[in-house]
Amino acid sequence: MSDMNFLTDPTKDETEKSEILKELSDIKFALDESAIVAITDQKGKITFANDKFCEISKYNRQEIIGQDHRLINSGYHPKEFIQNLWTTIAKGKVWRGEIRNQAKDGSIYWVDTTIVPFLNKQGKPYQYVSIRYDITERKLAEERIRQQASLLDKAQDAILVCDLKFQIIYWNKGAERIYGWTVGEVLGKDICDLLCGGNTEVLQQAQTALEEKGEWKTETKHFTKTGKNVTVESRWTMVRNEQNQPDYILITNTDITERKQIEQQLLRAQRMESIGTLAGGIAHDLNNILSPILMSVEMLQLGEHDEETHRWLSIARENAERGADLIRQVLTFARGMEGERISVQIKHIVKDSIKVLQETLPKSITVKYEIDPELHIVSADPTQIHQVLMNLCINARDAMPNGGTMTVKARNINLDENYARMNIEAKEGEYVLLSVSDTGTGMSADIQKRIFDPFFTTKELGKGTGLGLATAMTIVKSHGGFINVYSELGKGTQFTVYLPTVESERSAKTVSKAQSLPRGNGEMVLVVDDEENILEITRVTLEKFGYKVVTAVDGTDAIAVYAQRGNEIALVLTDLAMPYMDGMAMTRALRKINPNLKVIATSGLTTNEQTAEMQALNINAFLPKPYTGETLLVTMAEILKNS
């Protein structure tokens, strides 16, 4: 011990000094010049302090000796911490730990502390020697690291660190939000196996770029814990140590799934606009060509001709008129044809169209309709809306060459914020929903992507121009609305048109409904759907209104989730049409586990067979897609209330 000023202390007799020296001799080997030493009696009063203690506490020796040890207490540690310290040393045991103290000038310092109790012949402590080392710089560094880690956790991006073997050693809260795994679930895992599904090609590209340039950037698809695909912008940086050797890899992933979807929608809109401009120009020129031909044929027909010449002129006129009609459709598609907008009650247009369809469609096709008697008013051109409806009905007729059922529906619907995020053309508010469904051949996903493209048709040559749906899309867009299509091969197709109601009615209704939406009480819901957008937006909606949510991407995934958390799940919301295992098969399997399980089924298309099967399975409710947050919340609240 470097300074022993207590040896010259006149208040201590020689015997006491000799005893203290003897007792300290066993621990002197552990002390060096940086040691901060103090001695207190059994009541905690300071009886000795070395120079280092005075230096760090900024008290001189005269101010310290005889004072209670709490003189330097910063008040940082809880009562339980202090009680544990004194209980330990009072029992004659050594205590070790880190303590935050306060100097005379109010500054804070940290010390790594060892307190050694000295025992009398009866085994009771009569004084304590405290040996401390200044660790203030280390603690400040640790605090800075904690603050930095806290900032990283607040980042929306996924920030992760891998070692040189691509095993994860850091995982922030942003990564938890995007991918669903917690820190404990990913540490030590191979990043390729976890996020890329074992696709080593991406990892090889990253490794090559990091070796050559020290950084790499790409757009790629990753898997989440639920099996969902997310598109991320991934940035990799090789971090080197002080010797300039590769140390670890810093990865920052930004979720751009929604942005990419919006980009695709914008590109489609731009492509349609370009095609429309081109089509309009061509149609204008063709109109100029056909007009004189048609007029010339009409003039020739006024003259006297033999029967054969008259027949040829009739054929020429008929085809010229067909060409002119085709040009009018092209111009409708290209320009949108604003038309005269008036307040329209859609139900009258639907009823008139139904009458025409029932009289003209083949007897093998049954026409059904459901019309809300309280349909809201829309601002529209009645002729154009009639054209849209008839185009969709003719399309449904052609999809059922062997007969079937065509169903036309019209009802009011309120689109909320979450639903609007699913479609770039949709806005919040009140709409009239007009749908036409058939039980025909259905369409593949590839065909569904192209059906609104002008001149695209699946019909035989000469039986379709490919402009019917393109024109319908143009008209609906010009009315501020949009069209959705839902189809399954072999099961049929449903087209759904959304037309906004007049602004005054929409505003009043939206406010009143938003105020009365029911909320959950922390019930857990299992949402099952293979559509990423629907899965995510349904999850966000339910969590916003007080529910807990777990998700699955198909029936097999849902059964696995239920096997783990079935005792927590109050209700299952499932799509009926999914790969691997559909909603019906999944419901049968889950009902074997829990016969009383509450189930809500959803689908964009419902057949009579599906309806009968749902009744047999005693499914609690059915929501036709697309469903809004309001419809979902009201339905769920009603079912859970009756459980």
DSSP 401: T
Higher confidence at residue 517 or residue 209? 209
In this prediction, residue 327 carries a pLDDT of 62
Higher confidence at residue 511 or residue 146? 146
Spatial distance between the Cα atoms of 388 and 544, rounded to a whole number of angstroms: 37
Let me know if 144 is exposed, middle or buried by CB neighbors in 10 A (0-12, 13-18, 19+).
exposed
Higher confidence at residue 145 or residue 19? 145
Q: Among the listed ranges 313-317, 328-332, 334-338, 411-415, which one has the minimum average pLDDT value?
A: 334-338
| Residue 276 pLDDT class (50, 70, 90 cuts) | low
Clarify whether residues 247 and 286 are in a common domain. no
Let me know if 190 is exposed, middle or buried by CB neighbors in 10 A (0-12, 13-18, 19+).
middle
In a domain, 107, yes or no: yes
Spatial distance between the Cα atoms of 500 and 376, rounded to a whole number of angstroms: 9
| Entry pTM | 0.43
Q: Name which of 559, 539, 543, 519 is nearest 640 in CA terms.
A: 519
| 556-581 burial: b if 16+ Cβ within 10 Å, else e | bbbbebbeeeeeebbbbbbbbbbeeb
Clarify whether residues 608 and 473 are in a common domain. no
Strands 36-41 and 46-49: antiparallel
CATH number of the domain where residue 549 is located: 3.40.50.2300
In a domain, 621, yes or no: yes
In a domain, 145, yes or no: no
Cβ atoms 301, 340 nearer than 8 A:
no
Strands 569-575 and 598-603: parallel
Clarify whether residues 564 and 522 are in a common domain. yes
Higher confidence at residue 277 or residue 451? 451
Clarify whether residues 493 and 526 are in a common domain. no
SS3 assignment for 338-397: CCCCEEEEHHHHHHHHHHHHHHHCCCCEEEEEEECCCCCEEEECHHHHHHHHHHHHHHHH
pLDDT above 90 (res 511):
no
Listed in sequence order, the DSSP H helices in 414-457 are 417-420, 445-448
In this prediction, residue 324 carries a pLDDT of 65
In a domain, 83, yes or no: yes
In this prediction, residue 512 carries a pLDDT of 44
* Chain-centroid distance, C-alpha 72: 52
The residue to which tokens 């790969």 are assigned? 579
Last residue of a domain, one of 507, 538, 562: 507
Clarify whether residues 426 and 523 are in a common domain. no
In this prediction, residue 510 carries a pLDDT of 45
pLDDT above 70 (res 605):
no
Tens of pLDDT along 453-469?
A: 665 565 554 444 456 67
The residue to which tokens 């003189």 are assigned? 71
Cβ atoms 557, 227 nearer than 8 A:
yes
Cβ atoms 615, 606 nearer than 8 A:
no
Let me know if 67 is exposed, middle or buried by CB neighbors in 10 A (0-12, 13-18, 19+).
middle
In this prediction, residue 428 carries a pLDDT of 79
Q: Which of 14-23, 86-95, 149-158, 265-274 has the highest mean pLDDT?
A: 86-95
pLDDT above 70 (res 608):
no
In this prediction, residue 110 carries a pLDDT of 92
Tens of pLDDT along 613-633?
A: 888 888 899 887 666 677 788
pLDDT above 70 (res 211):
yes
pLDDT above 80 (res 251):
yes
Q: Among the listed ranges 38-47, 334-343, 421-430, which one has the minimum average pLDDT value?
A: 334-343
Backbone angles phi, psi at 402, to 5 degrees: -105, 15
| Residue 355 pLDDT class (50, 70, 90 cuts) | confident
Q: How many helices (H) and strands (E) does the chain have?
A: 22, 22
In this prediction, residue 5 carries a pLDDT of 44
Higher confidence at residue 339 or residue 177? 177
Clarify whether residues 225 and 298 are in a common domain. no
Q: Which of 269-273, 394-398, 535-539 has the highest mean pLDDT?
A: 394-398
Q: Structural domain tally of the chain? A: 5
| Residue 15 pLDDT class (50, 70, 90 cuts) | low
Clarify whether residues 372 and 497 are in a common domain. yes
**Average pLDDT over every residue of 259-270:** 68
Clarify whether residues 73 and 27 are in a common domain. yes
Clarify whether residues 299 and 440 are in a common domain. no
The residue to which tokens 């898997």 are assigned? 223
Q: Among the listed ranges 47-61, 133-147, 526-540, 604-618, which one has the minimum average pLDDT value?
A: 604-618
Clarify whether residues 240 and 94 are in a common domain. no
Spatial distance between the Cα atoms of 344 and 479, rounded to a whole number of angstroms: 12
In a domain, 315, yes or no: yes
Angle at CA of residue 65, ends 60 and 70, nearest 5°:
95
Cβ atoms 561, 550 nearer than 8 A:
yes
pLDDT above 50 (res 46):
yes
Clarify whether residues 482 and 624 are in a common domain. no
DSSP 5: G
Spatial distance between the Cα atoms of 61 and 71, rounded to a whole number of angstroms: 13
In a domain, 458, yes or no: yes
> Domain range holding 195?
155-255
CATH number of the domain where residue 430 is located: 3.30.565.10
Helix (H, G, I), strand (E, B) or coil at 4: coil
In this prediction, residue 53 carries a pLDDT of 93
Spatial distance between the Cα atoms of 602 and 618, rounded to a whole number of angstroms: 14
Last residue of a domain, one of 507, 531, 566: 507
Q: What is the mean pLDDT of the chain?
A: 79
Q: Among the listed ranges 178-182, 335-339, 508-512, which one has the minimum average pLDDT value?
A: 508-512
Tens of pLDDT along 480-498?
A: 888 888 888 888 888 999 9
In this prediction, residue 88 carries a pLDDT of 92
Clarify whether residues 120 and 17 are in a common domain. yes
pLDDT above 60 (res 22):
no
In a domain, 109, yes or no: yes
**Average pLDDT over every residue of 323-346:** 63
CATH number of the domain where residue 33 is located: 3.30.450.20
Last residue of a domain, one of 450, 483, 507: 507
Spatial distance between the Cα atoms of 76 and 71, rounded to a whole number of angstroms: 13
Q: Which of 16-25, 313-322, 337-346, 614-623 has the highest mean pLDDT?
A: 614-623
Helix (H, G, I), strand (E, B) or coil at 398: helix
Spatial distance between the Cα atoms of 126 and 120, rounded to a whole number of angstroms: 6
In this prediction, residue 489 carries a pLDDT of 83
In a domain, 144, yes or no: no
Tens of pLDDT along 51-80?
A: 899 999 999 999 999 999 889 998 889 989
- pLDDT exceeding 90 applies to what percent of the chain? 16
